[in-house]
Amino acid sequence: MDPQAIGDFLAPVNATLNATSTAFLLAGFGFIRQRRIDAHRKAMLGAVTASVLFLVFYVTRFSLTGTHEFAGTGTARTVYLTILFSHMVLAVVVVPLVLRLLFLASRERFSEHRRLARWTYPIWLYVSVTGIVVYVLLYHVYGYT
């Protein structure tokens, strides 16, 4: 396989990993609301695993194929770039927040964990969902050049 073919293969894999992370995040939220701590822990570790795999595969895809220019124009391009920019900025922001949540949970500092999770959860969920939106817009709706 040439680098472009590998990159084209990894793009839907990454979208699937974002969808998996989204599903785990939603499940984890539901579990903690039901006070199902063990199920919450497993779901959140699933979300972390999916997100880490996404990052590894994204960096691999990016190193092989670089960036792709969005083919849409006008309002579609503005909407896409707005979503992409917010996704990228918040993806960088969420990494240390998630690492801190993992640390707090591992130390059983649950009141601090809960306070930070109230901010981290919606950011992480947004990043996961917008990752799917970016993929769909770039690869299926408008294409790239």
Q: Is 61 exposed, middle or buried (0-12, 13-18, 19+ CB in 10 A)?
A: buried
Q: What is the pTM of this model?
A: 0.93
Q: With a cut of 50, which residues of the chain have pLDDT below it?
A: none
Question: What's the confidence (pLDDT) of residue 143?
Answer: 78
- b/e 67-105 (16+ beta carbons within 10 angstroms → b): eeebebeeeeeeebeebbeebeebbeebeebbeebeebb
Domain boundaries, the chain: 3-141
**Which DSSP category does 137 fall into?**
I
Question: What's the confidence (pLDDT) of residue 145?
Answer: 62
Q: Are 109 and 32 in contact (CB under 8 A)?
A: no
Please write the tens of the pLDDT for every residue from 100-122.
Answer: 999 999 999 999 999 999 999 99
- To 10 degrees, what angle do helices 110-135 and 3-33 make? 140
Containing H/E element for 42? helix 37-65
Please write the tens of the pLDDT for every residue from 41-51.
Answer: 999 999 999 99
Question: What's the confidence (pLDDT) of residue 57?
Answer: 97
Q: What percent of the chain has pLDDT over 70?
A: 99
Question: What's the confidence (pLDDT) of residue 121?
Answer: 98
